[in-house]
Amino acid sequence: MRVQSALGALILGLAAACGPIGPSATPLPTIVLEGGNSTTASESAVGQVTASGHVVAAQEVHLAFPVAGIVESVSVSVGDPVRIGQLLVELEGTTAQLEVDQALRALREMTSSAAIASADQAVASAQQEQDTAQKKVNALTYPRATEAFIDNLRAQITLARKELADATRAFNHVKDLASNDPGRARSEVRMTAAQINLNKLVGNYNWYTGQPSEIDVALTYANLDAATAAVQEAQWYAAALRGDPIPAEASGGRLAELEAARDAVKAAQAGLEATRLVSPIAGEVAALEISPGEYATPGQEVVVVSDVRHLRVETTDLSERDVASIQVGRPATVFVEAIGQEVAGTVLAVSPVADILGGDVVYMTTIELASTREGLRPGMSAEVHFETTP
């Protein structure tokens, strides 16, 4: 009764000191009867700041499927320990598995021994075409015939012109005869043959002594460029089929088809993986929100995994007046009332963004605990004592 009376009087005295209730009312300090200590999120002793907080897991993941489907199996229960990569929940994935199988079959067909042999043949054929094109380019810079051959053509042309002149004179003597006269016919045939022979020799002479046109030169070089590119693309494709490294700039229609087949396999495998929830961290199943046979929608939280072996403390009321004296890396002491123990810690981070608590500006601070005590669990209340800078 005396304690209650004293407490009532103390509360009334504090209320009277605070004045009328309103927006500008001063927050009441926290009163701790046991031990006679009174602490707030402010400096409680020289060189020390105290703040309230709660225990949190160092890591916690909230897992959801990126695709919709019927849950086929659930491999864990709440409270079960899990390791990294462990399968937790799986959707029915028959269709996804079929897509993977089809993509793999198509890729195996494209990369078979027969396909590799065919690609090697294509390389050899492309190299032949390149060699032919190169010879044509080389021919542009060399004479088409020797001087002796050209001199011989000139002599033949001289004789052919004489023969044409003689045949023409002979025909002129008989041209007035009837068209069916044998002598006239023989003279006309001789003259025509002489003209044809002269035309052929002159044409040969012009070709052997002439130069290719600009169009001929451009086309010849373009053919060589195309043949060279075809060889390179054929070599890249053959190398890719064998699994040899190829440069990033490698190109070609067949290579694009091969890359598309490989991408199809990756996409199909990703689709299958999307039907399986695995744990990205080691920890404990903190929540399980689905059962076999239920329908899961994309983004629906299904499992929560918490790393309860590595715990931290986050403050809730560190005042703006005190945050400047808190430095990352400085020691701190955490008292957890639920287990009645103190735990050593280190300031891990100070939030650069403020929160508002009851009209006061506060900053969340994270403390890394040096050890995990028996019975310590996420969610427990804690009191943090910081060692401040001078």
CATH number assigned to the domain comprising residue 296: 2.40.50.100
The CA distance from 60 to 307, in Å, is 6
Q: Specify the pLDDT at position 47.
A: 65
On whether residue 31 sits in a domain, the answer given is yes
Query: Do 299 and 331 fall into the same domain?
Result: no
Which of 64-68, 137-141, 234-238, 350-354 is predicted with the least confidence, judged by mean pLDDT?
137-141
Domain count of the chain?
A: 2
Average pLDDT over residues 308-333: 93
Q: Are residues 318 and 372 in the same domain?
A: yes
Closest Cα partner for 107 from 252, 243, 247?
A: 243
Mean pLDDT along residues 342-353: 94
Bridge partners (DSSP) of residue 55 are 313
User: pLDDT grade, residue 5 (50/70/90)?
Assistant: very low
Asked whether the predicted pLDDT for residue 250 surpasses 80, the reply is yes
Query: What's the pLDDT at 48?
Result: 81
Please report the sign of the dihedral spanned by the C-alpha atoms of residue 251, residue 253, residue 258, residue 259. positive
For 50-66, the pLDDT digits (tens) are 999 999 999 999 999 99
Give the pLDDT confidence of 154-167 residue by residue, as tens digits: 999 999 999 999 99
Classify residue 297: in a domain, yes or no: yes
**Residue 29 lies inside a defined structural domain of this protein:** yes
Rounded Cα–Cα distance for residues 232 and 218 (Å): 21
352 and 298 in a single domain? The answer is no
| pLDDT score for 138 | 87
Is residue 360 in some structural domain? yes
Contact 257, 107 (CB under 8 A): no
Question: What is the arithmetic mean of pLDDT over 120-145?
Answer: 90
pLDDT above 70 for 381: yes
Residues 315 and 299 in one domain: no
Q: Residue 364 phi/psi, 5° resolution?
A: -75, 135
List the single range of 73-82, 300-309, 315-324, 368-377 with lowest mean pLDDT. 368-377
CA dist 293 → 70, 213, 229, 298, 368 (Å): 6, 79, 57, 16, 41
- Any idea which of 30-44, 103-117, 198-212 has the lowest mean pLDDT? 30-44
Per-residue burial over 153-180, b = 16 or more CB atoms within 10 Å of its CB, e = otherwise: beebbeebeebbeebeebbeebeeeeee
- 146: confidence class by pLDDT, cuts 50, 70, 90: confident
Residue 139 or 151, more confident = 151
Characterize 330-358 residue by residue with b for buried, 16 or more Cβ atoms within 10 angstroms of its Cβ, and e for exposed: eebbbbbeeeeeebebebbebeeeeeeee
CA–CA dist 120, 139 (Å, integer): 29
Please give the angle made by the CA atoms of 300, 285 and 340, to the nearest 5 degrees. Answer: 125
In a domain, 286, yes or no: yes
372 with 323, same domain? yes
CATH number where 52 lies: 2.40.30.170
Looking at residue 17, its pLDDT comes to 37
Q: Which of 306, 324, 354 is the last residue of a domain?
A: 306
Q: Which residue has the higher pLDDT, 212 or 257?
A: 257
Work out the average pLDDT over 134-148.
Answer: 84
Q: Which of 220, 232, 207 is nearest to 138 (CA)?
A: 220
257: Cβ contacts below 8 Å, ≥ 6 apart: 110
| CA-CA-CA-CA torsion sign (179, 183, 184, 187) | positive
DSSP classification of residue 118: H
C-alpha distances (whole Å) from 212 to each of 143, 194, 219, 223 are 11, 29, 11, 15
Same domain membership, residue 372 and residue 321: yes
Secondary structure string (H, E, C) spanning 222-240: HHHHHHHHHHHHHHHHHHH
Residue 20 lies in a domain: no
Which positions ≥6 away from 329 have C-beta within 8 Å?
346, 347
Whether 293 and 344 map to the same domain: the answer is no
Whether residues 296 and 285 fall in one domain: yes
Query: pTM of this prediction?
Result: 0.59
pLDDT given for residue 99 in this prediction: 97
Pair 339, 371 in one domain: yes
If DSSP states are collapsed to H, E and C, what string results for 302-353? EEEEECCCCEEEEECCCECCCHHHCCCCCEEEEEECCCCEEEEEEEEEEEEE
Q: pLDDT category, 2, cuts 50, 70, 90?
A: very low
Let me know whether 52 and 71 are in one domain.
no
Instruction: Determine the pLDDT at residue 365.
Output: 96
Query: How far is it, in rounded angstroms, from Cα 312 to Cα 346?
Result: 10
| Arithmetic mean of pLDDT, 278-292 | 95
Task: Give the three-class secondary structure for 62.
Answer: strand
Window from 78-82, 88-92, 303-307, 385-389 with minimum mean pLDDT:
385-389
3-class SS of residue 131 = helix
C-beta separation of 74 from 296 below 8 A: no
Main-chain dihedrals φ then ψ at residue 245, nearest 5 degrees: -65, 145
How far is residue 103's CA from residue 109's CA, in Å, rounded to a whole number?
10
Domain span at residue 82 reads 61-91+275-306
Confirm whether 80 is domain-assigned: yes
pLDDT at 144 over 80: no
Whether the per-residue pLDDT at 216 is higher than 90: the answer is no
pLDDT surpassing 80 at residue 198: yes
Contact 296, 68 (CB under 8 A): yes
Name the pLDDT band for 96 (thresholds 50, 70, 90).
very high
Whether residues 379 and 314 fall in one domain: yes
pLDDT of residue 390: 64
Is 299 part of any domain? yes
- The average confidence (pLDDT) of the chain is 87
Does residue 382 share a domain with residue 324? yes
pLDDT value of residue 373: 83
Per the CB < 8 A criterion, the answer to whether 88 and 63 are in contact is yes
> Lowest-pLDDT range, 85-89, 208-212, 283-287, 372-376?
208-212
